[in-house]
Amino acid sequence: MNEKPDAAAGTGNPWEDRYRAGDVFWDRGHASPPLMQYVARHPLSGRVLVPGCGRGNDVAALAKAGVDVLGVDIAPTAIREARERYPDVADRFVTGDLFDLAPALRGAFDVVMEHTCLSGMEPALREKYRRGVESALKPGGLIVGVWFINPALDPGSSGPPYPLSVPDLDALFADGFEVLDDYVPDVAFEGREGRERLRVLRRTRSS
């Protein structure tokens, strides 16, 4: 991602600055419960991308489940920490920009797993996110997303995370995608109960 949230002056990459400062409040130390529940019920096939993978919790859990998964993050420190945390799958983490994927990653994935990447972006960047995800997917590829759905932020919070409404999610993927599954998960991290939505979309546009 080329545009990032506000952060103290530092490297010029505010996500990198956050990781260097340890300001990664979204990292709960293990994989998303709704995501892993979905995978247990619906085993994935093909190559899977986790954009904004951070310290690698989701990637490591998916790899342990036998998924051919790659995690990408724009913060080099996040990737270094992911490799240190999960040395057995260190080769599954690479530094990269979802808004400008390396040529080898474009159109290379059967599935994109979304968890906290979109919610970390200001709303003005959502169209770029959609285009980035679309660029990663093969025609007919899937997005399996745990989306942060709650228009009201916690008191005193201005984001991130930046929640989106269900109509906003509908509109973001109205062109070129179809909804295959959609529900409020019955498992969640503490404090996120009822605030997430698991939605699966299929890419219908061929180019």
pLDDT digits (tens, 9 = 90+) for 155-177: 777 778 888 899 999 999 999 99
Q: What is the mean pLDDT of residues 46-63?
A: 97
Query: Domains plus CATH for the chain?
Result: 31-203 (3.40.50.150)
Q: With 0-12 CB in 10 A as exposed, 13-18 as middle and 19+ as buried, what is 58?
A: buried
- Count CB neighbours of 173 within 10 A: 19
In this structure, which amino acid lies at residue 90?
A
Collapsing DSSP to helix, strand or coil, 183 comes out as: strand
Query: Model's pTM, two decimal places?
Result: 0.90
At 132-162, the pLDDT tens digits run 999 999 999 999 999 998 767 777 777 788 8
Q: What is the mean pLDDT of residues 181-207?
A: 90
Instruction: Tell me if 176 sits within 8 A of 203, measured CB to CB.
Output: yes
